Amino acid sequence: MRLIGLTGGIAAGKSTIGRRLAHHGAHRIDADVLAREAVAPGSPGLARVAARFGSDVVHEDGSLDRAALGAVVFGDPAALADLNAIVHPEVRRLFREHVDRAAASDPDAIVVYEVPLLVETSARDEPWDLVVVAEADVESRVARMTALRGMTEAEARQRIARQGSDAERRAIADIVIDTSGSEAETLAHADRLWERLVSLG
């Protein structure tokens, strides 16, 4: 089994690359999906969030009230650190479960973990066989976020500023894929990456 870390800033094209690699046969694990699973209704993670932040952050149907929680942790570094101390270990546990299942089903699996905060969290310490960084210039990313996600330009720039820098991601990268061109160009880069991954096997 080979373990590939796929990262990049918000709107840098990680998902486009991740989906393409999955199309070719990679086992794709999405950290954003795991983060939602970590606080799903009835989960230990959600119980700990409610214990720390109060029942007001849980809807009547038992699901997390993300807006209420966001209002609590926004601008409060200590509260955000408490939240991360609950969610991040759960995400790591779920990640290991997914990796173990992939390895059990296919010892030669190529597992791609699409993780936005690879450089900012303990994910950087995983035993990666390869770290791939999707990278686009800030203006391209802002344009994508305003057009595709409905954000204002100010909101988009704030989100970018809260993440690690391109330099920090490049420092741990084995491969950097420029995603500032067309989607077709990004897909072609992903195809060449897949050929390289297969050849390494």
Residue-range domains of the chain with CATH? 2-200 (3.40.50.300)
Q: What is the CA radius of gyration of the chain?
A: 18
**CB pairs under 8 A, 24+ apart, for 185-189?**
186/13, 186/16, 186/17, 186/134, 187/16, 187/20, 189/17
Q: Annotated binding site: which residue ranges?
A: 11-16
pLDDT in tens, 152-200: 999 899 889 888 889 999 999 999 999 999 999 999 999 999 999 998 7
Report whether 136 contacts 12 (CB < 8 A): yes
Give the mean model confidence (pLDDT) for residues 93-100: 95
**Per-chain mean pLDDT for the chain:** 93
Residue with structure tokens 């800033």? 9
Q: Annotated binding site for ATP: which residue ranges?
A: 11-16
Cα–Cα distance between 173 and 151 in angstroms, integer? 29
- Rounded to the nearest 10°, the torsion over CA 93, 168, 141, 79 is 50
pLDDT band at residue 64 using 50, 70 and 90 as cut-offs: very high
pLDDT band at residue 63 using 50, 70 and 90 as cut-offs: very high
| Predicted local confidence at residue 201, as pLDDT | 64
